[in-house]
């Protein structure tokens, strides 16, 4: 799965990019809420109650470098990218199944002459068994 995700992330397909932008924009708020209210509190609990957005700040006076907020943005991005990858993967599998169903070769229809020849052949086989 990691190799597929890496191939997806490095592929220059414009359709994938457009879908990624639309889905990323649509799920942006949901993912941000997930990171802000679920993932980061869990990380805070694992690190002894440290809030990365508040504790990983340093600077002089008004100029503050907010490393924790940057890390949270990276987590947001990874979740959005992975969810887009999973959605496209599911859509690709569904499209593949549809193509397989369509690709089934129809049984060729026999014309009247071929049908008649098959009946004659079957009758001859039946007579040979009786004899």
Q: Going residue by residue through the chain (131 aa), what tens digit of pLDDT does each one get? A: 888 877 776 666 666 777 778 877 777 777 778 777 887 778 778 877 776 677 778 888 888 888 888 887 787 778 777 877 887 888 888 887 776 666 666 677 778 888 888 888 888 888 888 76
Helices (H), the chain: 2-10, 14-34, 40-46, 52-55, 67-103, 112-130
pTM: 0.47
């Amino acid at each position: 799965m990691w190799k597929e995700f890496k191939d997806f992330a490095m592929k220059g397909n414009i359709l994938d990019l457009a879908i990624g932008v639309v889905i990323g924009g649509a799920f942006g708020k949901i993912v941000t809420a997930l990171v802000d209210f679920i993932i980061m509190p869990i990380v805070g609990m694992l690190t002894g109650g440290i809030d990365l957005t508040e504790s990983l700040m340093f600077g002089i006076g008004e100029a503050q470098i907010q490393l924790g907020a940057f890390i949270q943005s990276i987590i947001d991005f990874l979740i959005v990218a992975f969810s887009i990858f999973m959605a496209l993967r599911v859509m690709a599998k569904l499209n593949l199944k549809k193509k397989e169903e369509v690709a089934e070769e129809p049984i060729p229809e026999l014309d009247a002459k071929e049908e008649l020849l098959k009946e004659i052949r079957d009758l001859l086989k039946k007579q040979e068994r009786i004899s």
